[in-house]
Amino acid sequence: AAAADFTLLDSPLPARRRRPQPLPDAPLPRICTAGELPALREVHVWYLCPDELNNQSQLNMYEELLSPSEREYADSMKATMLRKDVVLSRALLRTTLSRYTGCKIDPRSFEFKKNKFGKPEVLWPLDDSTAEQPLHFNISHTTSLIACGIAINAHIGIDVEEKKRNTTKNILSLARRYFTPSEVDSLAEISDSDAQRKEFLKLWTLKEAYVKALGMGFSGAPFSTFSIMLETSKGIRISKTSNASRPGYDHLSENWLFTLAELNSSHYMSVCIEDSSRSQGPEDSPAPVGLKVWKTVPFVEDTLVSGTEAVKLIA
Amino acid sequence: FGNFAKRVSRSSIMLWRQFLGSLQVANVISSRSSVSFRSQKMSFVSIRSRPSSLRFKICCSATGEAQAKKETVDKVCMIVKKQLAVPDGTPVTAESKFSELGADSLDTVEIVMGLEEEFNITVDETSAQDIATVQDAADLIEKLVTEKTA
């Protein structure tokens, strides 16, 4: 999924949090559907399709939600399509976060900070009660779909990829360079090249989602240090490879939950969240990750698509 | 001159390493001739990004440090254009940022792999994460090629 997600952060804020800036006078359409907070081990995903959003006055409205630095970043994009993607991506994030504050916080008010590795997080105003229930988010986009995942009290990573996406490099070469030997073996067993490519993409999105959830950067958990196992009795699991004994690579498989789904028959979507319940013993099989998905046209229309043909759980 | 050039590039490698936070620079150069690092300007532009991509940019212009050859930059541009299917009208130059060309994480690793194949080098994840522009990629390539042949 695209790289433009985190790149626009404001300079580091002083230790004391600032209050949200006073809002401009332009009235914001008050069509905000408040969302019920996700439960434990539940992920909410809101997505939009850039190709379907061409109404210029709507796009202008979305652009008005952006902070000055976000707007500057959008302007730095050479291609119009990329600029639109940046605007939509930030608008999606801001409007989604607003829903989970019961629409009390205006989308324009949100401020962000970075963790020490650069992963963005919400910087909550000091006096707001929602700060006590930390809302975590992560964004992913392809040219045709932008998704925002939300979880409570759990770090989250999300990655989407078009099913039909082709690689310029040979699949097994890519896998040999970046994946683990056991993953290469499982891919090599697939004789149909299209099926092999799709399996590669599924593994790719799962690994991306995990690295993004960890929030330590690509080098914090190199793809070759852990394997994704798709079909265990406990769902999707990860296991460390033997060369992953360096300090800092101590990611325990049990702490992370995954879900892999097909969206609109056109995209693979992987979500990874921290298992904050820590309730399972060795015999317990963890409950599957709850997943709710909405397709949204911010301020206009939201459609719950999970539980329909639009969202097919793979694992 | 060959010796001098070698020492200059070794010291610039050490500068890079210092920034990547791995080695302590005990002594920069051990030789009879001296190379000084006066008036180095390092502007630390941190535009941190999502984990899997390359957006942590360090601008480093020390006097005497050679930038990558034009030939290297051109080859990188060609590989990037091909990977991202950049339309003919869109220029790709040394300053071009991968993010601004629409590279996603899969594009990025394919580009890195293409560079590895073209220049016969290996790029580890830490170094790859520091690449934001074509110039960064070209500089890293030359550094790795130099290290290989040193």
The band of A51, judged by pLDDT with boundaries at 50, 70 and 90, is very high
Into which CATH architecture does domain A42-50+132-313 fall? Alpha-Beta Complex (3.90)
Residue A160: strand, helix, or coil: strand
Structure tokens at A283: 């015999």
Asked, for residue B56, whether it belongs to a domain, the answer is: no
User: Mean of the pLDDT values across residues A279-304?
Assistant: 79
Per-residue model confidence (pLDDT) at position A255: 84
Chain B contact present for A77, CB below 8 A? yes
Asked, for residue B74, whether it belongs to a domain, the answer is: yes
Q: What does the DSSP 8-state code read for residue A40?
A: T
Return d(Cα A112, Cα A126) in angstroms, integer.
13
The residue in chain A having the minimum alpha-carbon distance to the alpha carbon of residue B116 is A177
Greater model confidence, A283 or B49: A283
The band of A15, judged by pLDDT with boundaries at 50, 70 and 90, is very low
| Shortest Cα–Cα distance, A39 to chain B (Å) | 26
Among A190-204, A266-280, B33-47, B108-122, where is mean pLDDT lowest?
A: B33-47
Judge whether residue A6 has pLDDT over 80: no
Per-residue model confidence (pLDDT) at position B42: 41
Judge whether residue A251 has pLDDT over 50: yes
Judge whether residue A10 has pLDDT over 80: no
> What number of other Cβ atoms are within 10 A of residue A66's Cβ?
21
Per-residue model confidence (pLDDT) at position B52: 46
Asked, for residue B2, whether it belongs to a domain, the answer is: no
Q: What does the DSSP 8-state code read for residue B37?
A: -
B89: which residues sit within 8 A by CB, 6+ positions away? none
Return d(Cα A212, Cα A70) in angstroms, integer.
21
Element (H, E) at B10: helix B2-20
Q: What is the pLDDT of residues A24-43, one digit of tens each?
A: 444 445 556 777 888 888 99
Amino acid at A114: K
| Shortest Cα–Cα distance, A145 to chain B (Å) | 13
Chain A contact present for B93, CB below 8 A? no
Q: Which domain holds residue B94?
A: 68-149
Judge whether residue A191 has pLDDT over 60: yes
Chain A residues inside the 8 Å CB shell of B116: 177
Greater model confidence, A3 or A253: A253
Return d(Cα A82, Cα A85) in angstroms, integer.
5
Residue A151: strand, helix, or coil: strand
ipTM of the complex: 0.79
Cα atoms in the Cβ-side hemisphere of radius 13 Å centred on A187: 27
Is A286 in contact with A234 (CB distance < 8 Å)? yes
CA angle (A231 as vertex; A226, A235 as ends), nearest 5: 85
Asked, for residue B53, whether it belongs to a domain, the answer is: no
Q: Which of A9-13, A268-272, A307-311 holds the top average pLDDT?
A: A268-272
Per-residue model confidence (pLDDT) at position A245: 53
The band of A289, judged by pLDDT with boundaries at 50, 70 and 90, is confident
Return d(Cα B112, Cα B98) in angstroms, integer.
12
First-to-last alpha carbon distance for chain B, in angstroms, is 15
CA angle (A38 as vertex; A32, A44 as ends), nearest 5: 70
| CATH number assigned to the domain comprising residue B100 | 1.10.1200.10
Per-residue model confidence (pLDDT) at position B53: 44
Per-residue model confidence (pLDDT) at position A103: 84
Question: Domain coordinates of chain A in residue numbers?
Answer: 42-50+132-313
Return d(Cα A190, Cα A290) in angstroms, integer.
30
Chain A contact present for B71, CB below 8 A? no
Is A98 in contact with A90 (CB distance < 8 Å)? no
Structure tokens at B91: 């220029």
How far are the Cα atoms of A23, A25, A104, A182, B87 from residue A165, in angstroms, in the given order? 42, 44, 40, 23, 18
Give the dihedral of Cα atoms A164, A167, A173, A178; nearest 10 deg: -90
User: Mean of the pLDDT values across residues A279-293?
Assistant: 69
Q: What is the pLDDT of residues A114-168, one digit of tens each?
A: 887 888 989 877 665 555 568 899 999 898 999 999 998 899 999 999 999 999 9
| Shortest Cα–Cα distance, A167 to chain B (Å) | 8
Please state the φ and ψ torsions of residue A99, each to the nearest 5 degrees: -55, -40
Asked, for residue B113, whether it belongs to a domain, the answer is: yes
pLDDT tens-place values along chain B, 150 residues long: 445 444 444 555 555 554 444 433 333 333 343 333 333 444 444 444 444 444 444 444 443 345 678 899 999 999 999 999 888 888 899 999 988 888 888 999 999 999 999 999 999 888 887 888 999 999 999 999 988 877
What's the total number of domains in chain B?
1
User: Mean of the pLDDT values across residues A277-287?
Assistant: 56
Is A147 in contact with A205 (CB distance < 8 Å)? no
Chain A residues inside the 8 Å CB shell of B103: 2-3
User: Mean of the pLDDT values across residues A289-300?
Assistant: 93
Nearest to A208 by CA among A195, A222, A196: A222
Interstrand relation of A235-240 and A156-162 (parallel, antiparallel or unpaired): unpaired
Chain B residues inside the 8 Å CB shell of A118: 46, 48-51, 55-56
Per-residue model confidence (pLDDT) at position A98: 92
| Helix spans in chain A (H) | 56-63, 68-75, 80-99, 171-178, 181-188, 193-214
Q: What is the pLDDT of residues A87-119, one digit of tens each?
A: 999 999 999 999 998 888 899 999 998 887 888
User: Mean of the pLDDT values across residues A177-193?
Assistant: 95
Of B90, B103, B124, Cβ closest to residue A3: B103
Cβ neighbourhood burial of B46 (10 Å; 0-12, 13-18, 19+) = middle
Judge whether residue A233 has pLDDT over 90: no
For chain B, state the CA radius of gyration.
Answer: 16
Greater model confidence, A278 or A228: A228
Asked, for residue B30, whether it belongs to a domain, the answer is: no
Query: In this structure, is the dihedral angle defined by the CA atoms of residues A71, A74, A76 and A79, taken in order, positive or negative?
Result: negative
